[in-house]
């Protein structure tokens, strides 16, 4: 009996499982559901346009506008950093508010004003999208859309006639689209000098204000009046083109010294120089430079076997800081073999020279600039005669030269011949050519090492070579001192590539551009991108400035 029961059990298990699976499958397929079906999905605009309009303000800008980009990573970063930023910002608010509160203490019977509680809450602002602008200037320009529905805990206590009045700010909401510019871009960390902030539209500000426990914003008409007043006041201060400038780097660190004028040096003659050659003579020449400059020093011609040479040679040096720079003059004896012997030197601080006026110097040469060592050396080294004229550029000298410019204009109107000083003030200038970057400069496979060459009036200057790139960024500037404006002239910029291996053609031109300088002379500056000639898609970014004196 036990064996029969076991056999029947095994047969029932083997037959029952397939029959159950087949029956369940057919029941699942052919049975109809008894529950109510879900309605078909339809676009929201077909159901209710009012609902869509209500949702539009809450939709992020990166969905509505393809120019805006998502910055979820920054929002997460802001969320992690918010507790620390809260304390730092509140500390700044306390320190900034103290002098303001001090001005009101003693007026209107106010005895004291202080923060009882100050916290921005646990909810950080949210960036709903950022728009980046590509400009030709040395700046980074972005437009973030900021929304902040915070839960701040700000309680201000006013003590008036021994009565404590508690004012509490609650349920703060702030929506705004800002334009933030980081400029100028510098080679010093954090690589920008100033943060410039402005509002692109009137901000939305909403908050509750409790005084002695009662919400004063519930008073009819007060809520709208306060909102409009805040919008109007904030817009008047920071609505573009009004800006808020926040300095980041110290002025001395962030300032990039630009040329402010030209120093005209005329080396006239020298007297009674030292004898350095075996025959009792010397072969003198003068080497001149300005302190704080990396440019190579200027040199006069060599006067062979002459202890009283006459040069009458004129040089122009670029001045960047006339208050601190010094003109260094060194007289050398030229030798065909070996180093040149220094016969003497002298130094002239530029602050001793009045702008626009010629000053003649007759200097005793000394051994070196060390005053103590030079006082011990009593040897007479001769004298050097020269004249100097410092001519500031127009932007730096409008105030100091206003009288001279008016006098020059009066002479022109009376058909009088301008003096030599007037001629220097009206014609000389500095042409600056800044090679910023290039894009899509294509050469052969072995030629992907581009550099730029600037050609002007026979002078040739070139940037550094960048290896293995078709989108080079040079950011190099070249300067040309001119006696008169470059009217009806042009500057040529060539983009070249140099091979690194053994090639029959070690250099290859990737494109060039010729830029007419008439617009530069008229406007003072151009900053454009040019399509390279003889290049398929090449573009080069060049800035040219003409600064007159």
Query: What 3 state SS string does 156-187 have?
Result: EEEEECCEEEEEEEEEEEEEEEEEEEEEEECC
Which pLDDT score is estimated for 252?
A: 57
Structural tokens at position 493: 């910029």
Q: What local confidence, expressed as pLDDT, does residue 492 receive? A: 95
| Least confident among 45-54, 66-75, 228-237, 528-537 | 45-54
> Which pLDDT tens digit goes with each residue over 278-288?
777 889 999 99
Residue-wise pLDDT for 65-84, tens only, equals 777 888 888 899 999 999 99
Confidence of residue 380 (pLDDT cuts 50, 70, 90): confident
Residue 327: which pLDDT band, with cuts at 50, 70 and 90?
very high
Q: Is the pLDDT of residue 438 over 60?
A: yes
How many degrees, rounded to 5, is the angle at CA 188 between CA 441 and CA 464? 30
CA atoms within 13 A on the CB side of 382: 23
Q: What is the pLDDT of residue 396?
A: 42
* Domains 261-372+379-392 and 429-548 fall in the same CATH topology: yes
**pLDDT confidence tier of residue 371, bands split at 50, 70 and 90:** low
- At 453 the pLDDT is 94
**Whole-angstrom Cα distance, residue 420 to residue 399?**
21
pLDDT at 413 over 60: no
pLDDT at 398: 37
DSSP codes of every residue in 193-248: EEEEEEESSPPEEEEEEEETTEEGGGSTTHHHHHHHHHHHHHHHHHBTTS-EEEE-
What mean pLDDT is reported for the chain?
A: 80
Residue 243: the pLDDT is 84
Dist. CA 347–CA 331, nearest whole Å:
12
Q: How confident is the model at residue 248 (pLDDT cuts 50, 70, 90)?
A: confident
Lowest mean pLDDT segment, chosen from 184-198, 319-333, 343-357, 372-386: 372-386
By CB atoms closer than 10 A (0-12, 13-18, 19+), residue 179 is middle
Q: What are phi and psi for residue 90, nearest 5 degrees?
A: -65, -35
- Sign of the CA dihedral with 357 first, then 358, 363, and 368 last: positive
Cα–Cα distance for residue pair 302/280, rounded to 1 Å: 17
Interval 31-61: pLDDT, tens: 666 655 666 666 655 666 666 666 666 667 7
Average pLDDT of the residues in 91-112: 81
Structure-token pair, residue 477: 């500037």
The answer to whether the beta carbons of residues 86 and 152 sit under 8 Å apart is no
pLDDT tens digit sequence for 456-471: 988 899 999 988 888 9
Question: What is the reported pLDDT for 376?
Answer: 53
Which position has the higher pLDDT, 20 or 418? 20
Specify the 3-state DSSP secondary structure of 463. coil
Q: Which tokens sit at 374?
A: 């030079």
Position 405 pLDDT exceeds 60: no
Could you give the CA distance from residue 430 to residue 451 in angstroms, rounded to a whole number? 24
Question: What's the mean pLDDT in 236-254?
Answer: 75
Q: What is the pLDDT of residue 55?
A: 63
pLDDT digits (tens, 9 = 90+) for 193-212: 888 888 888 888 888 788 87
Q: Is the model's pLDDT at 426 over the cut of 60? A: no
* H-run or E-run covering 453: strand 450-456
pLDDT at 235 over 80: no
Tell me the average pLDDT across 502-515. Answer: 79
Q: In terms of Cα–Cα distance, which of 547, 47, 139 is closest to 318?
A: 547
The CATH number for 429-548, chosen from 2.60.40.150, 3.40.50.720, 3.40.50.300, 1.10.10.60, is 2.60.40.150
Q: At 387, is the pLDDT very low, low, confident or very high (cuts 50, 70, 90)?
A: very high
CATH for 261-372+379-392 is 2.60.40.150
Which residue did the predictor score with more confidence, 101 or 404?
A: 101
User: Is the predicted pLDDT of residue 400 greater than 50, yes or no?
Assistant: no
How many CA atoms within 13 Å lie on the side-chain side of 52? Answer: 8
What pTM, to 2 d.p., does this model score?
0.60
pLDDT value for 392: 84
pLDDT at residue number 16: 73
Per-domain boundaries in the chain: 59-247, 261-372+379-392, 429-548
Lowest mean pLDDT across 88-92, 294-298, 333-337, 411-415: 411-415
Which of 44-58, 107-121, 349-363, 384-398 shows the lowest per-residue confidence on average (mean pLDDT)? Answer: 44-58
- Spatial distance between the Cα atoms of 141 and 133, rounded to a whole number of angstroms: 5
Judged by DSSP in three states, 545 sits in: strand
Residue 310 pLDDT > 90:
yes
Residue 404 pLDDT: 41
Q: Which residues face 205 on adjacent strands?
A: 174
What's 335-364 look like in SS3? CCCCCCEEEEEEEEEHHHCCECCEEEEEEE
Q: Check residue 458 and give its pLDDT.
A: 87
| Cα distance between residue 482 and residue 394, in whole Å | 15
First-to-final CA distance of the chain:
125
CA 148, CA 173: separation in Å to the nearest integer? 6
Q: Rg of the chain's alpha carbons, rounded to an integer?
A: 39
Percent of the chain beyond pLDDT 90? 19
């Amino acid at each position: 009996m036990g064996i029969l029961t076991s056999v029947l059990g095994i047969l029932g298990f083997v037959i029952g499982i397939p029959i159950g699976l087949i029956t369940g499958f057919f029941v699942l397929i052919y049975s109809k559901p008894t529950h109510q079906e879900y309605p078909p999905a339809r676009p929201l605009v077909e159901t209710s346009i009012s609902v869509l309009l209500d949702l539009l303000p809450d939709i992020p800008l990166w969905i509505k506008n393809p120019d805006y980009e998502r910055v979820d990573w920054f929002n997460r970063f802001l969320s992690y950093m918010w507790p620390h930023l809260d304390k730092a910002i509140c500390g700044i608010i306390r320190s900034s508010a103290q002098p303001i509160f001090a001005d009101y203490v003693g007026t209107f019977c106010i005895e004291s004003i202080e923060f009882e509680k100050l916290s921005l809450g646990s909810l950080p602002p949210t960036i709903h999208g950022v728009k980046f602008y590509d400009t030709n200037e040395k700046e980074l320009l972005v437009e973030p859309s900021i929304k902040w529905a915070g839960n701040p805990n700000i309680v201000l206590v006013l003590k008036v006639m021994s009565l404590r009045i508690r004012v509490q700010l609650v349920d703060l909401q702030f929506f705004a689209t800002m334009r933030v510019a980081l400029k100028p871009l510098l080679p010093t960390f954090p690589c920008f000098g100033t943060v410039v902030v402005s509002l692109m539209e009137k901000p939305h500000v909403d908050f509750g204000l409790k005084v002695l426990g009662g919400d004063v914003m519930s008073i009819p008409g007060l809520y709208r009046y306060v909102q409009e007043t805040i919008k109007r006041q904030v817009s008047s201060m920071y609505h573009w083109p009004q800006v808020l400038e926040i300095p980041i780097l110290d002025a001395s660190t962030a300032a990039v010294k630009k040329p402010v004028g030209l120093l005209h040096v005329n080396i006239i003659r020298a007297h009674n120089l030292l004898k350095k050659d075996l025959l009792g003579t010397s072969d003198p020449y003068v080497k001149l430079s300005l302190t704080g400059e990396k440019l190579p020093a200027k040199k006069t011609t060599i006067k062979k076997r002459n202890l009283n040479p006459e040069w009458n040679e004129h040089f122009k040096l670029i001045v960047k800081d006339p208050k601190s720079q010094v003109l260094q003059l060194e007289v050398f004896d030229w030798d065909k073999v070996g180093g040149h012997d220094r016969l003497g030197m002298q130094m002239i601080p530029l602050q001793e020279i009045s702008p626009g006026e010629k000053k003649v110097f007759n200097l005793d040469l000394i051994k070196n600039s060390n005053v103590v060592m030079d006082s011990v050396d009593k040897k007479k080294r001769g004298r050097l005669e020269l004249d100097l004229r410092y001519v500031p550029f127009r932007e730096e000298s409008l105030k100091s030269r206003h009288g001279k410019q008016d006098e020059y204009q009066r002479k022109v109107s009376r058909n009088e011949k301008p003096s030599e000083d007037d001629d220097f003030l009206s014609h000389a200038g500095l042409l600056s050519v800044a090679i910023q970057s290039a894009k899509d400069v294509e050469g052969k496979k072995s030629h992907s090492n581009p550099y730029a060459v600037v050609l002007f009036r026979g002078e040739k200057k070139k940037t550094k070579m960048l290896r293995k790139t078709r989108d080079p960024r040079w950011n190099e500037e070249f300067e040309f001192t001119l006696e008169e404006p470059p009217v009806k002239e042009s500057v040529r910029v060539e983009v070249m590539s140099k091979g690194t291996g053994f090639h029959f053609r070690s250099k290859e031109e990737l494109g060039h551009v010729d830029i007419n300088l008439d617009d530069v002379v008229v406007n003072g500056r151009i900053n454009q991108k040019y399509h390279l000639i003889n290049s398929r898609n090449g573009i080069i970014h060049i800035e040219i400035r003409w600064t007159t004196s």
